[in-house]
Structure 1
Amino acid sequence: MRGDGTRLIATEDGHRVTPAELFFDLVFVYAITQVTALMAADPSGPRLLGAMVVLALLWWCWCCFSWLGNVVRADSGGLFSVLVAVMAAVFVVSLTVPEVYADRHGGLHAPLVFVLCYGTVRVLHLISYWIAGRGDAALIRTLRRTLVVSVLPPFALLLVGSALTGAAQVLVWFAAVLIDYAGIFLTGKSGWRIVSPVHFAERYALIVIIALGESIVAIGVGMADLPFSGPDLVAAVAGLLVSTSLWWVYFRHVTEAAEHALAAREGDERTRFARDAFTFLHLPLVAGIVLMALGLKQSLHQIADSHYPLSEPLHGLTAWALTGGVGLYLLAAAAILLRSTGRLPAVLAVGGLCSLAAGVLVALVPALLALVLLAVAVGALAVGYGRSARASGAAHAPAGAEPVEPVGPVDSVDPVGPVRRPTDPSGS
């Protein structure tokens, strides 16, 4: 495959994230923000499930091209044109998110637009992979199975659901997501390739950064157009400290362990690990951040709004989301470490379970106090886990693995990229 501007250009081991992929990720900043807004508009159990379904579908769009960008350069050849088309489709999907469950009349039917654009992304992904994988019989077989098992049946259900409203729409779409993910679990054991472990780990580290950034944005949005006061200052700093502690857990422990484990594996074993630790287990990690962002947004709004006394606690779903999102994040981080090292980090697992259960207590104490206590607790957990990991000598790398340079979200990006000779896109 030659770099003539139209063909796909294969990557090699050591390939790093490109500026084109960073640009691609910008669309998902807005998409994740829209999911938080979808929950905030109607903080209820059914809406929470519906928002998680939307997040799972958006996550699948992003994951498809994180895998493809690992075997084909995203900044050269025909893939960049595909990325631009996908960005347009995902951006339209993001625009429809606030109305995707609303029973409104007039204009375009938002659920149908959402489904058609989502289907376009999945089809473009499969076509691009098929072009890149010509000559790779195992990959072509996997692509066919994916189309039959994991793309067409869920897409049909999404189309059916787009004609429904309320709980029926949410349940049909939820079923489509379950079939899609189960299909990938069954068909994704072989055929796919991870050419560059460092690139793959960087891609997921960057999307975690994006999600954490959205949680910080939620703090500012919650305080928008309201007078700024001393309690607001305390609440904003406490919210930032919560996000910082979660960043510390992931980037000081989780991502390095996952990258070591990915680099230590080969062939289909590497494929299965990438599917489990990154594609599957990073979804609840990101979902936890989105839920926490909802809690932060509502907390800051309530603390800043003079109509609420400072003694007023959070209520309903938002009370649980504040700590429950942190709990889901910590449990996902513990699961990634377990899959990477074979050891369960008890501090993270216990902390995650306690955070999930703490939503009941949040509804009993003032919102500002709950936020400050959460910041203290999560900060102490991050420090305590770091010390326990060092004390036990847990480097989180598989036995005998060669050291791998830790992932860095900014300075690891090569804006130009080395000149590469054409290779087989399968990485073989």
Structure 2
Amino acid sequence: MAMAGRLPGQLLLRRENLGKASFLELFFDLAFIFALTRLSRALLDDPSLNGGFQALLMLAALWWVWFVTAWSADWFDPRAPLVVALLLWVMFGGLLMAAAVPTVFDGHAMVFAVAYVAIHLGRAAILIPGLRGHPLQLRSLRVAIWFAISGVLWVVGAAVAPAREVLWALALVMEYVLAWLRWPFPWLGRSTWPELRVNGTHLSERYQQIFIIALGELILIAGITYSGSGLDRDSTVAFALAFVTAVALARLYLVPAGGRLGGRIEAEGPPGSRLTLLAGYLHLVMIAGVLGTSVAMEMTIDDPGEDNTGQLAVGVIGPSLFLTARILLAAMVDGSRPWARLVGVPAIIVGGLATVGLPQLVASAVVAGVLLLIVLFDAMPRLWRFIRQARESHPADQRLAG
């Protein structure tokens, strides 16, 4: 890998065990679990279009904290004191943001915004001195300058409620676009792709871990809701559907290209940083889809017989977002376009529309059924290939059977 070596401040680029996440990185992910539970609560309280947009803004901000930190941590030895301080700083800031989520638009916007800005500027304050004399110091400086500029939008948005959503959305769009443009700044230029290169195996594993955490939030919230539901028959069926849905989403994420992302990033070389970034954007969409599905499942378990437009909306939009992003990721990784998934997105939408006016339990059953069918049709080519290979490897058995 490029730029290996020991840096000032004992920061070591490229760990010995490149494919494994450190204990501290996994510990850092705990903040994201808390954030997802708070986001699902906020969306549950207001499943309207405006509530969904607000939840998406907060999720995009929290995801950007996780993604930029995961990208930064990929370069350094997690045992180095500065990196330990960095991850703990970001984790604490993330917990503050998550704690403010349910009331961000009711009085605690400044806590959320200041914590977000402090995370990014604090990361720069830790890394820039530690990178003294190394070319990567300039990369961190560019990123810090742009986060300071976007930070103004975050703080002003927190102070001016009528313009909050607009200013925060503008800040997020700016940050996501600047990352794709490699953080250009006058007189400082822009980062090169080799400067942004990551270890594909490690970051791919981090994506899988954070997606599993999102699914874990779905199961956790479903279990908590079911535990308080009285454990009646309809709630039990709804809980079973939530479990089946989580299993289907996990299967659809991991197969066929879930484990190939790292290899593709490595094969691309420095340009693989583009793929890493696109994968980060698509994982945001997939996690948003899982979050919406989680809220729909919670509504169903809580009151299976109710006709709820909000439940139907998030219950259809959530899986559709996940499938769409997953299809795009598979197309980028290995060029595949699984027909079952392509048909599955409109099938979920049509199936959802067909359940308008019916109990929530019916809507959840339709979505779970479509997901299971996609998994089944997805697996059929592999199943037939396995059967054909088994027959070819046992010709004597075939003659006896004849």
**TM-score using structure 1 length:** 0.81
Do residues 86 (structure 1) and 90 (structure 2) align? yes
| CA offset digits 1:209-229 (Å, max 9, x no partner) | 000011112212333533111
**Residues 194 and 128 from structure 1, CA distance in 2 versus in 1: closer, same or farther, beyond 3 angstroms?**
farther
Please list, as runs of the form range in 1=range in 2, the aligned pairs for 1:317-332 lying within 5 A after superposition: 317-332=310-325
Structure 1's consecutive aligned runs of 4 or more residues displaced over 6 angstroms after TM superposition are 1-4, 389-393
Structure 2: stretches of 5+ with no match in the other structure: 184-191, 387-402
Question: Partner amino acid for 2:158?
Answer: S
**Residues 181 and 113 from structure 1, CA distance in 2 versus in 1: closer, same or farther, beyond 3 angstroms?**
same
Question: Partner amino acid for 1:272?
Answer: R
Query: For this pair of structures, how many residues does the alignment match?
Result: 373
Structure 1: stretches of 5+ with no match in the other structure: 105-109, 304-309, 394-428
Distance in 2 between residues matched to 1:195 and 1:260, nearest whole Å:
12
**Residues 252 and 258 from structure 1, CA distance in 2 versus in 1: closer, same or farther, beyond 3 angstroms?**
same
Distance in 1 between residues matched to 2:321 and 2:381, nearest whole Å:
21
* Among candidates 137, 142, 154, match of residue 158 of structure 1: 154
Distance in 1 between residues matched to 2:281 and 2:385, nearest whole Å:
28
| 1:236, distance to aligned residue in structure 2 (A) | 0.6
* Among candidates 41, 48, 62, match of residue 44 of structure 1: 48
| 1:356, distance to aligned residue in structure 2 (A) | 4.1
**Alignment partner of 1:253: what SS?**
coil
Larger proportion of helix:
2
Q: Tell me what 1:117 maps to.
A: 115
Distance in 2 between residues matched to 1:78 and 1:142, nearest whole Å:
17
Question: Partner amino acid for 2:168?
Answer: W
Larger relative contact order (C-alpha < 8 A, sep ≥ 6)? 1
* Among candidates 187, 190, 193, match of residue 193 of structure 2: 190
**Alignment partner of 1:100: what SS?**
helix
Distance in 2 between residues matched to 1:125 and 1:67, nearest whole Å:
12
Q: Tell me what 1:414 maps to.
A: none
**Residues 160 and 3 from structure 1, CA distance in 2 versus in 1: closer, same or farther, beyond 3 angstroms?**
closer
| 1:292, distance to aligned residue in structure 2 (A) | 0.7
Question: Partner amino acid for 1:371?
Answer: S
| 1:385, distance to aligned residue in structure 2 (A) | 1.5
Q: Tell me what 1:290 maps to.
A: 291
* Among candidates 357, 362, 367, match of residue 374 of structure 1: 367
| 1:388, distance to aligned residue in structure 2 (A) | 3.9
Distance in 2 between residues matched to 1:176 and 1:3, nearest whole Å:
32
Q: Tell me what 2:169 maps to.
A: 174
- Identical pairs, percent: 23
Distance in 1 between residues matched to 2:348 and 2:89, nearest whole Å:
40
Question: Partner amino acid for 1:145?
Answer: R
**Residues 130 and 192 from structure 1, CA distance in 2 versus in 1: closer, same or farther, beyond 3 angstroms?**
farther
Question: Partner amino acid for 1:281?
Answer: L
| 1:344, distance to aligned residue in structure 2 (A) | 2.8
Paired residues of 1:61 and 1:122 also in contact (CA < 8 A): yes
| 1:130, distance to aligned residue in structure 2 (A) | 3.4
* Among candidates 122, 127, 130, match of residue 128 of structure 2: 130
| CA offset digits 1:188-235 (Å, max 9, x no partner) | 662544443211111110000000011112212333533111122111
**Residues 129 and 356 from structure 1, CA distance in 2 versus in 1: closer, same or farther, beyond 3 angstroms?**
farther
Please list, as runs of the form range in 1=range in 2, the aligned pairs for 1:201-280 lying within 5 A after superposition: 201-267=204-270, 269-277=271-279, 279-280=280-281
Distance in 2 between residues matched to 1:359 and 1:44, nearest whole Å:
17
Paired residues of 1:193 and 1:271 also in contact (CA < 8 A): yes
| 1:323, distance to aligned residue in structure 2 (A) | 2.2
Paired residues of 1:324 and 1:359 also in contact (CA < 8 A): no
Paired residues of 1:314 and 1:362 also in contact (CA < 8 A): no
